Amino acid sequence: QSALTQPPSASGSPGQSVTISCTGTSGDVGGYKYVSWYQQHLGKAPKLMIYEVNKRPSGVPDRFSGSKSGNTASLTVSGLQAEDEADYFCVSYAGINDLIFGGGTKLTVL
Amino acid sequence: QVQLQESGPGLVTPSQTLSLTCTVSGASINSGGYYWSWIRQHPGRGLDWIGYIYYSGSAYYNPSLKSRITISLETSKNQFSLRVSSVTAADTAVYFCAGVRNWRFDYWGQGALVTVSS
């Protein structure tokens, strides 16, 4: 089982929008609605930002949004802020009680 | 508010067994609804899912680690545990415990660094 594919890095200036992709297969991302995204600041625990492709937990700013097309899910951060600089990774259900992680993307706010 | 906290030795000798415990507060691990899970993160790398256990005691493990992994419940203490046998340097990582619901990780512990070294 291979990890979901994410770009290793992404960047944008304050106020801009950045989109991070997460590519899998029809057996995971493309086959289920259970794609979630997490933010992880250095040395901290991950935080759930998006679940079920495009739902935001309470307390997550609406600058964070999710979508999916085919086997690729995406996380978009709009109106970038300095505190958005972190690692982001995706997770997808892969059937038969299995979960698969993305490799992670380091987001830099220029 | 649900909180999780990992505990256990930070240093393990090669070939020995790594043991970690996750203490859950704010929720009962006996009440259902959540899969109690372990994840690890190798230095400078992404996360790897180790496995999870349900309140019934049913457990599921990552096939790549299955032969060396045991996850168990200690319901009287509202804890669940991880054991990894025959460890090598490749098992050096930060280990997280987490609560999973509807295939998303709702709650995470702060993580515990475990180093495998003689």
Per-residue pLDDT of B3-61, as tens digits, reads 999 999 999 999 999 999 999 999 999 887 899 999 999 887 888 899 999 988 899 99
User: Which residues in A lie closer than 8 A to residue B96 (C-beta atoms)?
Assistant: 45-46
Q: Is B91 exposed, middle or buried (0-12, 13-18, 19+ CB in 10 A)?
A: buried
Low-confidence ranges of chain A (pLDDT < 70): 1-2
- pLDDT for B63 equals 86
Quote the minimal CA–CA distance from A46 to chain B in Å: 7
3-state secondary structure (DSSP) of residue A95:
coil
Q: What is the pLDDT of residues B78-115, one digit of tens each?
A: 999 999 999 999 999 999 999 999 999 999 999 999 99
- pLDDT for A98 equals 84
Q: Do B104 and A101 touch (CB under 8 A)?
A: no
Q: Is A56 exposed, middle or buried (0-12, 13-18, 19+ CB in 10 A)?
A: middle
- pLDDT for B45 equals 80
- pLDDT for A1 equals 57
- pLDDT for A11 equals 96
Angle at B34 between CA B60 and CA B110, to 5 degrees: 90
CB-nearest partner of A45 from B102, B104, B109: B109
- pLDDT for A97 equals 76
- Please give the residue that has the higher pLDDT: either B96 or B66: B96
For residue A36, give the amino acid letter. Answer: S
Q: Do B110 and A99 touch (CB under 8 A)?
A: no
Q: How far from chain centre, in Å, is Cα B2?
A: 16
Quote the minimal CA–CA distance from B104 to chain A in Å: 6
CB-nearest partner of B108 from A1, A46, A101: A46
